[in-house]
């Protein structure tokens, strides 16, 4: 079992990682995406929702699928789908405290945009704790889980794989980081037994607190 005692760079996904999935922010975003597809392609809601889901599965994001199949402005799409009610996000002082005690650099890398990420973090009360934020626009709109996306972002962020860790709520987004040598942590109610997931956890704050208190006993939280 890999321990995290020598990690000095912590990379966090945003959605359903730095806030609980129960908030269902993606419920709002998915509705916006489906409406966008309905207008773009002139299809009904059921067809639009099916396209959105299929594009996400095949291309990494619904946006990537639309860009592959239609001429759209990604900035316009992202501006539309991220125009949501952020007030549903509760502040999390417990997570803020745990993040502040984590040694080293703390980054956010999301398939959303940087302005969207900043808005989420602001409403969560977590914005001040992160050194850098990277969004899909920084990867030329290539999304996780594709290797090219990680190569671009990790190069820009000067990531040293052997001393870095990545937190994600989607298993598929941990495959490449694991291959590159990062420690990988899945944040999900569903336990993972995949070999590319070093730690499978439910509660991020508890896990982070354990890192700062005794990283050699982290197996107790898996």
Segment 30-59, tens digit of pLDDT: 999 999 999 999 999 999 999 999 998 899
More reliable by pLDDT, 213 or 219 = 213
Helix axis angle for 62-69 and 74-81, nearest 10°, is: 150
Is residue 110 domain-shared with residue 181, that is, in the same domain? yes
C-alpha dist (Å) from residue 94 to 2, 14, 125, 181:
26, 17, 10, 30
Percent of the chain residues topping a pLDDT of 90: 89
Q: Supply the CATH number for residue 148's domain.
A: 3.40.50.1000
C-alpha dist (Å) from residue 48 to 17, 30, 62, 67, 81:
27, 10, 11, 15, 14
Which residues span the domain enclosing 143? 9-19+90-221
Closest CA to 16 of 3, 2, 30: 30
Percent of the chain residues topping a pLDDT of 70: 95
Is residue 31 domain-shared with residue 63, that is, in the same domain? yes
Tell me if 4 is assigned to some domain. no
C-alpha dist (Å) from residue 55 to 61, 67, 111, 112, 207:
6, 10, 14, 16, 33
Is residue 154 domain-shared with residue 196, that is, in the same domain? yes
What's the predicted TM-score (pTM) here? 0.90
Tell me if 2 is assigned to some domain. no
Mark residue 66 as left, alpha or beta (left: phi above 0; alpha: psi -120 to 50; beta: remaining). alpha
- The overall average pLDDT reported for the chain is 93
Which residue reads 């509660």 in tokens?
203
Segment 77-101, tens digit of pLDDT: 999 999 999 999 999 999 999 999 9
Closest CA to 61 of 86, 40, 37, 89: 37
Is residue 134 domain-shared with residue 66, that is, in the same domain? no
Is residue 32 domain-shared with residue 15, that is, in the same domain? no
Is residue 60 domain-shared with residue 98, that is, in the same domain? no
For the sheet with 199-201, list strands across it: 132-134, 105-109, 9-12, 164-168, 183-187, 199-201
Distance in angstroms (rounded) separating the CA atoms of residues 80 and 181: 36
Is residue 128 domain-shared with residue 100, that is, in the same domain? yes
Closest CA to 114 of 87, 141, 86, 133: 133
Is residue 208 domain-shared with residue 188, that is, in the same domain? yes
Tell me if 141 is assigned to some domain. yes
Number of domains in the chain: 2
Distance in angstroms (rounded) separating the CA atoms of residues 87 and 184: 30
pLDDT band (50, 70, 90) for residue 1? very low
Tell me if 3 is assigned to some domain. no
Is residue 171 domain-shared with residue 191, that is, in the same domain? yes
């Amino acid at each position: 079992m890999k321990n995290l005692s020598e990690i000095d760079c912590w990379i966090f996904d945003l959605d359903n990682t730095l806030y609980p999935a129960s908030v269902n922010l993606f419920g709002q975003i998915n509705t916006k995406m489906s409406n966008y597809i309905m207008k773009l392609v002139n299809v009904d809601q059921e067809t639009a929702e099916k396209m959105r889901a299929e594009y996400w599965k095949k291309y990494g994001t619904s946006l990537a699928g639309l860009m592959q199949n239609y001429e759209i402005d990604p900035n316009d799409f992202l501006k539309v789908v991220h125009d949501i009610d952020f007030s549903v996000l509760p502040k999390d002082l417990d997570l803020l405290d745990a993040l502040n005690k984590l040694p080293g650099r703390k980054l956010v890398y999301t398939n959303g945009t940087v302005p969207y990420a900043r808005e989420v973090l602001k409403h969560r009360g977590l914005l001040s704790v992160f050194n850098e934020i990277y969004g899909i626009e920084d990867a030329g709109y290539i999304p996780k889980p594709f290797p090219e996306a990680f190569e671009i972002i990790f190069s820009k962020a000067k990531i040293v794989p052997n001393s870095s860790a990545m937190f994600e709520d989607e298993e598929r987004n941990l495959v490449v980081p694991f291959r590159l040598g990062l420690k990988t942590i899945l944040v999900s109610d569903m336990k993972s037994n995949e070999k590319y997931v070093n730690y499978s956890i439910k509660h991020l704050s508890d896990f982070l607190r354990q890192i700062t208190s005794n990283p050699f006993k982290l197996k107790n939280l898996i």
